[in-house]
Amino acid sequence: MPTYVSLVKFTEQGISTMKAQGIARSEAVQRNIESLGGRLLDAYYCLGEYDVVAILEFPNNRAAMKAAVLNSSLGHIKITTMPAVPRGEWRELLRELWGGKAKK
């Protein structure tokens, strides 16, 4: 299944209701992902520009987009999701472009 990276920021509402709803919302986000055929591989809570970096799998871009919209509509997070190509696939892509000229 294709891999995606989601960069997540908590909204003001998300921060102000974290104590009462944080765990339940996290579980709701995961259920929404799974309901669209996706899988949360891991999530990292961060300092800096983004609050969470999530690594996900979805059957296709359409399912990934639906999950981003569905989870953003909960109101506590803003999400930027992008497809991610594994290193091996990237190397193969380069080999397809330039044949054996791409270094291993």
Angle, helices 18-35 vs 61-72, to 10°: value is 160
CA geometry: angle at 79 spanning 31 and 36, to 5°? Answer: 30
Domains and CATH numbers, the chain: 3-101 (3.30.70.1060)
User: Other CB atoms closer than 10 Å to residue 42's CB: what's the count?
Assistant: 8
pLDDT tens string 12-58: 999 999 899 889 999 999 999 999 999 999 999 999 999 999 999 99
Q: Under DSSP, is residue 42 helix (H, G, I), strand (E, B) or coil?
A: strand
Note if the pTM is more than 0.95: no
